[in-house]
Structure 1
Amino acid sequence: MSAYSTAFQALTAGRALRPGEAAQLLAELRRETGEELAAAVEKQLDGKFRRTATDTDGRFRKKRLHYGASMRVVAAFRALAQAQRPTIPNPRPRSTT
């Protein structure tokens, strides 16, 4: 049974969940959703950045850079999904100093 259907049943059963149960249920739902999202994004990226016959070396280098950045986003989705307490990995400060 998926975490979504378990959460749906728990919410519609008519009995209140204890805080620990609710936290566990939400963590499982977050993990499942993050994995599904990462897999979908990875599937969309598959083959998008391959070298074609018309690509120059510079164009292909840019494709590799874009692919690397995209895969870092996928890795961040997976890290957030697996985290006990989700936080944004490696946040960058917005200061200009």
Structure 2
Amino acid sequence: MSAYSTAFRALTSSRALRPDEAAQLLAGLRIETAEELVAAAEKELEHDSEFRRSPTDTEGEWRRKRRRYGAAMDAIGRLRSLAAAALRPNLPNQRNNRSTS
């Protein structure tokens, strides 16, 4: 049974949820949502022609395409690790910490 249908049943039943049940239910929803998001993003990247090399690409354009694809796959990897994390996910530090002033 999916986490969505479990949550729907829990919300529509006449019995109130205990805090540990509610936390487990929300964690299941978070994990399932993140897995669906990662799967959809990976599928979109596989079929996206934006990252494929075209015959007219220069070496610089091809490097930029590979770099953008790598950044997208890095974001997908982080989403996957957040989905697999326990209740408190480990968020990565911000890379660009330079002052904007």
TM-score by structure 2 length?
0.86
What's the TM-score once normalised by structure 1's chain length?
0.89
Alpha-carbon distance, 1:86 to partner: 2.5
| Residue correspondence of structure 1 range 36-55 to structure 2 within 5 A | 36-48=36-48, 49-55=51-57
**Is the counterpart of residue 17 in structure 1 residue 17 in structure 2?**
yes
**Separation of aligned partners in 2, 1:17 and 1:89:** 33
Structure 1: any 5+ residue segments left out of the alignment? Answer: none
Quote the Cα distance in structure 2 between the aligned partners of 1:59 and 1:47: 19
Structure 2 counterparts to residues 47-86 of structure 1, below 5 A: 47-48=47-48, 49-84=51-86, 85-86=88-89
Equivalent AA in structure 1 for residue 99 of structure 2: T
After the TM superposition, which of the residue ranges 80-89 and 13-22 deviates more from structure 2? Answer: 80-89
Q: How many residues align?
A: 97
The percentage of counterpart residues that share the same residue type is 61
Give CA-to-partner distance per residue, 1:15-39, whole Å, 9 cap, x none.
Answer: 1111111111111111110010011
1:96 alignment partner in structure 2: 99
* Large movers: runs of 4+ above 6 Å: none
| Deviation of 1:60 (Å) | 0.5
Aligned-pair CA distance for 1:42:
1.0
**Cα displacement (A) at 1:93:** 6.7
* Structure 2 unaligned blocks of 5 or more: none
